[in-house]
Structure 1
Amino acid sequence: MSRLHARVGTIRQLEILCALKDHGSVMAAAKALHLTQPTVSMQLRKLSEAVGMPLYFQVGRQIQLTDAGLAVVASAREILSCFERLDMNLTKMRGLTAGTLRIAVVTTAKYFIPHLIGDFCQLYPDINVELKVGNREQISARMAEGIDDFCVFSHPPKKAEYLLTEFLPNNLMAIAPHGHALSKAGRIPLQEFARAPVLMREQGSGTRYAIERHMEKHNCDLNVRMTIESNEAVKHMVMSGMGVSILSEHALSVGDSSGLVVLDVEDMPIKTNWFLVRSRSRPISPVAEALLDYVKQEDRLAQLTTMLPGE
């Protein structure tokens, strides 16, 4: 039997190393864990000494983990997850549902996931939620690391090790500013729309991924004028007359969309769906299982659809 566990430091040290990986600096890790920087540095040094190899190095102001550090983080996440599941299971045995739910969502999902989680937490008020938001590429990276209970995608990575639960439609709509030459036309050919200057989300965005697959399917090239990393910025740039765009109906239902018109374009909208995605290899916690059961209830989804902003 390996005696590594006798040399490697405390659970707290493993938690600190994970925080260092997630936040990229000693200062940020200390802030996230409500510890002082000297305490974090000392515990990391002790852990490195126990492992017998450097776990990280500094590049400018950012921390990079060594291969040994990444290996320790991977095992540390498993160990910490075991403790979390034990805590949740013991709580469940006492007739309560409590613990931490970790969920990561692509940018557009931030418009409706709070409504879903808010109602869920009213049923289980002892649950803590950690919510991360990023583009499709960033959330895919988190999914590969197994950090979260669930990730929310409209176009999840197609891998056998992931379990997908479809739960809500996500239609992508062609938009233009009021008064645009196309705004009063009916059944605009897709090729004609594509010739207009198009404002696009950045590479790595799920919206852009869906648009590019749709245009490939219809053998159509977009006249991309500008790349923008924010749905809200895209809307305001369209309203200012810089071009047309394609955005999720959820992005259009919040904030200021008064200067926009949805265009009647052939082969549009692009019909996609939202998925809750989890790793087959990550044991499902009682809290995550409760959320999955909650999402699968059709009346819950109907209620969510009617309460979306702007609906």
Structure 2
Amino acid sequence: MRRLTLRQFRIFEAVARHLSFSRAAEELHLSQPAVSMQVRGIEVILGMPLTEQIGRKIFLTDAGREVLHASQAITARLDDLQHNLVQLRGLEQGRLTLAVTSTVNAVATGILARFRARYPDIAIHLGVSNRAEVLDMLVGNQVDLAIMGQVPDHLGLDATRFMDNPLVVIAPPDHPLASRRKVPIETLADEPFLVREAGSGTRGAMERFFAARGLELKSSMEMSSNEAIRQAVQAGLGLGILSLQTLELELALKRLAVLKAEGFPIMRHWYVVHRADKRLSPVAQAFKKFVLGGQGGRRRPA
């Protein structure tokens, strides 16, 4: 029986990721017929189709999903091997690929600045996305580590808590509720809120908070970044719920006020996360140790 090649695996991964032969060809700088031929070669070896076309859309068959799972495991191990062999030369020549959720970006950049001061020659690639996208990158082994909120138990990820993340309600300083010594939950629920997009950890925490009290979050506008929410709250477009750690400048300049709302802060936590089956490179190990050793912020026991 002919053996599948690493090149075939990588090409099929691209097709499965895009669900498109043409977009996979663009990513790989190949012609579309060349990509189709490689996938067809896998199908001939295995004796079953890996994709099916319904209308104009491409879908993976059950066999295709099995091949994708095996391919990701194989290519991930080979990538880890190559990466680790290079980094065995020492941390001076290492590379760190890190993903962070946008809510923790300000905290993460401070951590990276301190880490870079200790290891100035390490190449660092930082990706900032929402929670759902960061989870996808972790599961797909596209990053060494991530810094984010708590992760689901079923994804095969190792998450270690290192820092508290209190969420607070913010308003313009001249908002009628800003001078109240206590704001009841029912009063808060009547106010319009600016929220992050679906998939954001902060939005999920907000929705769960109100739902647990039998109340519905009144959303006035959806925004794709915390910075946009901060500016919109300052402009009086609604209230917001954000991490207290990201508001230092606005609070110092009195551009925003934290409401004394019942039930707040919502106490969440930051975690350093990686695939449980991933063999961390020397640089990734050094960064994780750096964060958990208290260099990333105030550590809290799990």
What range describes the TM-score normalised by the shorter chain of this pair? 0.7 to 0.9
- 1:241 is paired with a residue whose SS is coil
Q: Which residue, out of 81, 84, 109, partners 2:79? A: 84
- 1:228 is paired with a residue whose SS is strand
Listed as ranges, the matches of 1:223-262 within 5 Å are 223-230=217-224, 231-252=226-247, 259-262=255-258
Change in Cα spacing, 1:130 to 1:79, as seen in structure 2 (3 Å) is farther
Q: Determine the C-alpha separation between the residues in 2 that align with 1:197 and 1:208.
A: 14
Q: Determine the C-alpha separation between the residues in 2 that align with 1:43 and 1:106.
A: 36
Q: Determine the C-alpha separation between the residues in 2 that align with 1:60 and 1:111.
A: 45
- 2:178 is paired with a residue whose SS is coil
Q: Which residue pairs with 1:194 in the alignment?
A: 189
Q: Share of identical aligned residues, percent?
A: 32
Q: Determine the C-alpha separation between the residues in 2 that align with 1:14 and 1:239.
A: 50
Change in Cα spacing, 1:16 to 1:109, as seen in structure 2 (3 Å) is farther
- 1:243 is paired with a residue whose SS is coil
Q: Where does the alignment leave 5 or more consecutive residues of structure 2 unmatched?
A: none
Q: Determine the C-alpha separation between the residues in 2 that align with 1:46 and 1:130.
A: 37
Change in Cα spacing, 1:104 to 1:126, as seen in structure 2 (3 Å) is closer
Query: Are 1:108 and 1:250, in contact at CA under 8 Å, matched by a contact in 2?
Result: no
- Cα distance, 1:172 vs structure 2: 1.1
- Cα distance, 1:27 vs structure 2: 4.4
Give the AA of the match of 2:49.
Answer: P
Give the AA of the match of 2:220.
Answer: M
Q: Determine the C-alpha separation between the residues in 1 that align with 2:235 and 2:77.
A: 52
Q: Determine the C-alpha separation between the residues in 2 that align with 1:258 and 1:42.
A: 62
Give the AA of the match of 1:291.
Answer: F
Give the AA of the match of 2:210.
Answer: M
- Cα distance, 1:272 vs structure 2: 1.3
- CA deviation string 1:219-265 (max 9, x = no partner): 25244133514233433443343321212235545899975332222
Change in Cα spacing, 1:14 to 1:255, as seen in structure 2 (3 Å) is farther
Q: Determine the C-alpha separation between the residues in 1 that align with 2:178 and 2:80.
A: 54
Q: Which residue pairs with 2:264 in the alignment?
A: 268
Query: Are 1:155 and 1:210, in contact at CA under 8 Å, matched by a contact in 2?
Result: no
Listed as ranges, the matches of 1:26-175 within 5 Å are 26-33=21-28, 35-38=29-32, 39-57=34-52, 63-95=58-90, 101-117=96-112, 120=115, 123=119, 125=121, 127=123, 129=125, 131=127, 133-135=129-131, 137-144=132-139, 148-159=143-154, 161-175=156-170
Q: Which residue pairs with 1:296 in the alignment?
A: 292
- CA deviation string 1:36-84 (max 9, x = no partner): 3334444334334333333334567764333222222211122122222
- Cα distance, 1:93 vs structure 2: 4.0
Change in Cα spacing, 1:243 to 1:132, as seen in structure 2 (3 Å) is closer
Query: Are 1:195 and 1:222, in contact at CA under 8 Å, matched by a contact in 2?
Result: no
- 2:177 is paired with a residue whose SS is coil
Change in Cα spacing, 1:21 to 1:151, as seen in structure 2 (3 Å) is farther
Change in Cα spacing, 1:57 to 1:126, as seen in structure 2 (3 Å) is farther
- Supply the RMSD in Å over aligned alpha carbons: 3.6
Query: Are 1:88 and 1:286, in contact at CA under 8 Å, matched by a contact in 2?
Result: no
Q: Determine the C-alpha separation between the residues in 2 that align with 1:100 and 1:21.
A: 27
- CA deviation string 1:272-297 (max 9, x = no partner): 11111223233333343222122222
- 1:163 is paired with a residue whose SS is strand
Q: Which residue pairs with 1:221 in the alignment?
A: 215
